[in-house]
Structure 1
Amino acid sequence: MSALAALDGLETRDQRALGVAAFHEGDLAAAISHFQARCLQDSSDYETRYWLASAAAAAGAGEQAAGILDEARTLHALAVLQALDVDVRRLGADRPYAAQVGTQLYARKLMASASYCLGRALDFDNLDPNTMVTYGLSLQHQGRIQEAVDVFTAASEVFSIPGVHQFLLYPLFYVDDRLARVSAESRRWGELYAAAPPGPPPAFANPRTAERKLRIGYVGPSFTRNQVAPSTVPVFEAHDPQAVEVFLYTPDPAAEAPLPDHCTMRKIGHLSDEDAAELIRGDRIDILVDVWGHTAGSRLRVFTLRPAPVQIGWINFMQTTGLTCMDYVMHADSMEVPGNEAYFTEEIWRTGEIMAPYRPSAERHPPTPTPALKNGYVTFGSFNNPAKLNDATVAGWATILKARPADRLILKYGLFTDPVLQRVTQARFAAFGVRPEQIEFRGHTTGPDYTREFHDIDLALDPSPVPGGTTTVDAIANGVPVLVLKGQDFYSRTPLPLLLPCGLEELVVEDWDAYVARALELTADVQALDALRARVRPGFDNSAYRDEVGFTRRLEADYRRMFQRWIDKTA
């Protein structure tokens, strides 16, 4: 007797259970009928609506499924609010209360409930930029990218605030035609907030020879307390004080971890853009490097005042700044895609096989065998922001899991503590036949707890076309193979310089069909998978990523060539 027939005989005739059974047996029409009947019985039943959304998507009714999923998410968010003793009725009438609750929920990473509150907090007669930005971020963090774009677009039009407008740039990299849209919006930001000052370009008293000790300045909100630290700190330490003088411009040097004595720290948090530029000019900087780009805390407007002869973007923001005052942006060789340079105001400077070194955590644990040897099933994993799980990524990963019903997927990120985001994600995978119990969610961890969790993963899966960065190199550094898609533009190809220098060419594939096939091939033979795992960490440890001095010498040589170009151009 089938599961559906067995349930059909129950006196309770639970419509949801009948629908789930029909769904798993492939009878989508019956499943939809049962789910709809249950929804009519209970207008607040979000769980059944999740299943109905999955069944509608599986039946090809994508637009209808999206609407049902939105309804399920809203009902679930309301249930979370009620469980937290939030006065739901008050939210619609008391905007300050809605803003307060929404902000608190955002801080707790309960993004679905936060966005419900923050959307009701908007007073269109008296809009608040902080509320609008937080509302947009709460949508973005759920992967509701177009809604986030709409909010940030409105905020950029209402408020002439450069920091508010910058929030629009990041989600644009998730949309169709992203290169053109990011390029256009970055240039628009530059025209509005970072236009070159009138008059002739500044004259520099810097000695016009590249064969001397150059003065290199780096600008960032921090160099030791964020995601760029594993790359920037090794470079600062490896800089040759006989070849370059290093100046670090940051809001509060006292807040930084110890840095080499040959680095001169400059506090600029209290300075206006004009005063910061004057300080940099007074230090006679030859090469000025921004390590942050259009991200919260950036000081890109300082660069508009052209305080140095050569100005560069590096590390955190690989897209164009849209600013004509920026001379170069640095990319690894394998990111090159012919024609992509048209979307940059800067010249793309190729740095070789990697963009920067990477120093792994000192709290790495000793290597372990692939966990499938003891588990008896394969564990796939992704430690990426849930916003990166677009429809193509979900479809590809779900195809893998459907082919392997005993295997599972770990999705780890701080935002996955939200029960609504968990259930929405399960519903999206279920549309392709993945059972909810195949997906495990994990939240944020740090230090040895974070690195230990890589030991639970047999094969890490990289999303596309918005790929992982730090999480990918962390996985490789901890011995986990990562399967990546080559991608069609420079940004989707950022995983290539992470894998290729480590000798892991077999983990790069051309399209989603090849991705699914390779994932199944790699995990079909657990002994072979374990042999691959045994190569990953040594490949990383012996790669260019760990040659901090070698990379920095090449970087210094690049700086010298850039400066010589400036000399030749301005002769």
Structure 2
Amino acid sequence: MEPASAMSLDDALALHRAGRLAEAEAAYRSLLAVHRGHPDLLRFLGLLRHQQGHAAEALDLLERAVDLCPESADGRRALALLLDKRGDRPGALVHYRAAARLAPHDAFALNDLGCALMEAGQLDDAAGVLEGAVLMAPEQGDALANLAIVLDRLGRTEEAVALAHRAVAARPEHAATHVALSIVLASSGLIGQAERAARHAAAIAPADIAALLQLGNVLIDAGDPDAAVAAYARVIEREPDHRGATENRLYALHLSPTVDDRDLVTELRAWGSGLSGLAEPRPDRGRDPNRRLRVGYVSADFGKHPVGWFLSPVLPNHDPAAVEIHAYSGRTVADEVTDHLRRHCASWVPTAGMDDAALAGRIRADGIDLLVDLSGHTAHNRLGVFARTPAPVLATWGGLIGTSGLPAMDWLIGDPRQCPAGAEELHTERIVRLPGGYVPYGPPAYAPPVAPPPALGLGHVTFGCFNRLAKIQDGVIALWARVLDAVPGGRLLLNTRELRCPDLRGRVAARFGAAGIGSDRLELAQGGGHADMLESYAGVDIALDPFPYSGGLTTLEALWMGVPVVTLPGRRFCSRHSVGHVTVLGHPEWAAVDADDYVRIAAALSRDREALGGLRSGLRGRMAASPLCDGAAFTRGLEAAYRMMWRQHCVS
């Protein structure tokens, strides 16, 4: 090999591309000794040092390159990519924008900017930039795939699917395009096709993290949480600190009937302990037990989502003399529920572009006294923010499905049904039990009137379940088959978005067939808009609740439409949503103590159809007058819980 001092830049680049990093580094440094401050050399050396794991030096080199030549689009892109990988999204976005300005006809620069805007939650801007990239290079598969994902998030699903198919046609051997196709197909309800696309991506690139993660996601949609757990485990084997896979796996474990309650809590505690090193000294907000509290709500679900419906009757009823409400919203597409919630907050902070450290810093700066998590281990949660202890008091409520597992989380807000005596061993938090239900219900104005029970006209009873397929495991199907055996002529209606997929309808029918339920007793409906879904309860006499993850909002909606719900509660938090709702409504007799009791309750409700009609006609009125729909009383109880938490903090 010739001496490094005699090498040209092209020679050094050839070594770099060949993976001979130590030799390439020596060549770059030798050239820099002669051409001090050469921006391209600094950039290439910075990229190489990043490959070698020296992130701090790489950042310094790339920043020097940009300082020396701020009009270099390549230099800006390289710095932006590194800042993005380090979690500095705002800093990265500055340089992505600059690169796109400097190279307005470069589809790659536009694609980078579009992706950064998408991650920052600026979806409309991202769509515009990515559309420009596609115009510049119509067959640039990456831009097509990224535009498909953005349009999907904006609700433009048909366009998204068409673009994703174009992306796959442009780059058929590129795993990322198949991942994008899987994402948009899943959003459109074509779960079987989405699963095939994800498996194809994983076959192309068996070590690809995004492909395995998407495979896990779509397996949950397909109703196979145990297989999803295995897919997420493959991600974690390759990248032990991968947050998405770790948290999605925890969510899937809640759905799994094969996971013992104690084992689930052990998993959650282990996860939480792994984040304990993020804790910082809690801010000191004084110790006045009676002063007005600054309460922060953290969620990505401020909209048409169970959390949005639960909050709708709460925020308008907060006492402004007692609490000042601040929302930290990760929602990227607003709707009328979002607008309703926003009107009742003192501040509304968009958080989609903030990493956990930045958001925790903002919450500290805002002087929040009591910070409330509304996600638990569901999608887009910010439990990493709570691990950083940015407020004196931390609580989880509303969107949770069980204990957070975080040592930093002080309180879990439940009720005596959701968290009965002895539930403490399943939670890392102290439990506060609200006197009524643990959430209220604000029914939408467009909910249709209650229809008569269909059994009166059809001559047979129709059972129904509108929960997602992930909750309907083989044990559930076996028990529902027993219900139908006990009710001659009875039929079962399943209604969920996933059943838009012909493949999945076939699979579900086969699973019921194996349990002895033929297609003549099974109806598979394909979901639809929210109003249409509520209207579909006109075809259901009695709702059957799944387990071990019961219905929450779904149960409240069934009750509002006059449909009784039979439930089989377990011990874990997510198995007790329905028992809480039916008990608060005044019908604890609909909660079974075991499988035999579940069959007995369902059969007994089906026998007296006139009584079923009377129950149905009066259920909405009783629900409206119950604590379930008394937003003012619920909020007074919630504020009392907040005050108790604060006072305990003041004397601690």
TM range (shorter): 0.7 to 0.9
* Partners of 1:276 and 1:327 in 2: CA distance: 19
1:452 aligns to 2:535 (yes or no)? yes
Secondary structure of 2:444's aligned partner = coil
1:406 aligns to 2:489 (yes or no)? yes
- Kindly indicate whether the alpha-carbon contact (under 8 Å) linking 1:288 and 1:312 is maintained by their aligned counterparts in 2: yes
Within 5 Å, which residues of 2 pair with 1:159-174? 159=239, 160-173=241-254, 174=256
From the superposition, tell whether residues 429 and 566 of structure 1 become closer, same or farther in structure 2 (CA, over 3 Å): same
1:536 matched to which residue of 2? 619
From the superposition, tell whether residues 299 and 194 of structure 1 become closer, same or farther in structure 2 (CA, over 3 Å): farther
Cα offset, 1:368, TM superposition: 2.3
Within 5 Å, which residues of 2 pair with 1:38-77? none
Bigger mean CA offset, 359-368 vs 485-494: 485-494
Which residue identity is paired with 1:129?
I
Within 5 Å, which residues of 2 pair with 1:52-131? 99=179, 102-122=182-202, 127-131=207-211
Secondary structure of 2:463's aligned partner = strand
From the superposition, tell whether residues 210 and 479 of structure 1 become closer, same or farther in structure 2 (CA, over 3 Å): same
- Kindly indicate whether the alpha-carbon contact (under 8 Å) linking 1:459 and 1:480 is maintained by their aligned counterparts in 2: yes
What TM-score comes out, normalization by structure 1 length? 0.78
What TM-score comes out, normalization by structure 2 length? 0.69
Cα offset, 1:265, TM superposition: 1.5
1:158 matched to which residue of 2? 238
Task: Choose which of 246, 249, 265 in structure 2 pairs with 1:183.
Answer: 265
Cα offset, 1:203, TM superposition: 4.3
* Partners of 2:465 and 2:268 in 1: CA distance: 30
Provide the identity percentage.
Answer: 33
1:145 aligns to 2:228 (yes or no)? no
Task: Choose which of 505, 508, 525 in structure 2 pairs with 1:422.
Answer: 505
* Partners of 1:442 and 1:125 in 2: CA distance: 36
Bigger mean CA offset, 217-226 vs 313-322: 217-226
1:552 matched to which residue of 2? 635
Cα offset, 1:317, TM superposition: 1.1
Post-superposition Cα deviations, 1:383-413, rounded to whole Å, max 9, x if no partner, equal: 0111211222111111222344522111000
From the superposition, tell whether residues 121 and 542 of structure 1 become closer, same or farther in structure 2 (CA, over 3 Å): same
Post-superposition Cα deviations, 1:124-153, rounded to whole Å, max 9, x if no partner, equal: 866333221211122122222221111011
Within 5 Å, which residues of 2 pair with 1:348-427? 348-427=431-510
Cα offset, 1:567, TM superposition: 1.1
1:343 aligns to 2:426 (yes or no)? yes
Post-superposition Cα deviations, 1:313-349, rounded to whole Å, max 9, x if no partner, equal: 0111131111111101111111234443223221121
Within 5 Å, which residues of 2 pair with 1:458-469? 458-469=541-552
2:403 matched to which residue of 1? 320
1:51 matched to which residue of 2? none
2:159 matched to which residue of 1? none
**Which of these two proteins has the greater Rg computed from alpha carbons?**
2
Cα offset, 1:430, TM superposition: 2.1
From the superposition, tell whether residues 217 and 176 of structure 1 become closer, same or farther in structure 2 (CA, over 3 Å): same
* Partners of 2:482 and 2:257 in 1: CA distance: 23
Task: Choose which of 231, 245, 248 in structure 1 pairs with 2:310.
Answer: 231
Task: Choose which of 201, 217, 240 in structure 1 pairs with 2:319.
Answer: 240
1:476 aligns to 2:559 (yes or no)? yes
Bigger mean CA offset, 250-259 vs 260-269: 250-259
Secondary structure of 1:485's aligned partner = coil
1:250 aligns to 2:332 (yes or no)? no
2:300 matched to which residue of 1? 221
Cα offset, 1:262, TM superposition: 5.0
* Partners of 1:432 and 1:126 in 2: CA distance: 35
RMSD (Å) for aligned C-alpha atoms: 2.6
1:276 matched to which residue of 2? 359
* Partners of 2:512 and 2:333 in 1: CA distance: 47
- Kindly indicate whether the alpha-carbon contact (under 8 Å) linking 1:454 and 1:480 is maintained by their aligned counterparts in 2: yes
1:301 matched to which residue of 2? 384
* Partners of 1:267 and 1:100 in 2: CA distance: 25
Which residue identity is paired with 1:367?
V
Larger RCO: 1 or 2 (CA < 8 Å, sep 6+):
1
Cα offset, 1:93, TM superposition: 7.7
- Kindly indicate whether the alpha-carbon contact (under 8 Å) linking 2:273 and 2:407 is maintained by their aligned counterparts in 1: no
From the superposition, tell whether residues 197 and 242 of structure 1 become closer, same or farther in structure 2 (CA, over 3 Å): closer
Post-superposition Cα deviations, 1:206-253, rounded to whole Å, max 9, x if no partner, equal: 231221211111111132242211111221111011111111111369
Cα offset, 1:166, TM superposition: 0.8
From the superposition, tell whether residues 457 and 147 of structure 1 become closer, same or farther in structure 2 (CA, over 3 Å): same
1:11 matched to which residue of 2? none
1:208 aligns to 2:287 (yes or no)? yes
Which runs of 5 or more residues in structure 1 are unaligned?
1-84
From the superposition, tell whether residues 203 and 417 of structure 1 become closer, same or farther in structure 2 (CA, over 3 Å): closer
Post-superposition Cα deviations, 1:80-121, rounded to whole Å, max 9, x if no partner, equal: xxxxx99x9xx9987567546544543432323332342232
Which residue identity is paired with 2:339?
A
Cα offset, 1:506, TM superposition: 2.4
Secondary structure of 1:168's aligned partner = helix
2:394 matched to which residue of 1? 311
- Kindly indicate whether the alpha-carbon contact (under 8 Å) linking 1:162 and 1:189 is maintained by their aligned counterparts in 2: no
* Partners of 1:126 and 1:432 in 2: CA distance: 35
> Number of aligned pairs?
480
Post-superposition Cα deviations, 1:404-442, rounded to whole Å, max 9, x if no partner, equal: 452211100000112222222222222332221211111
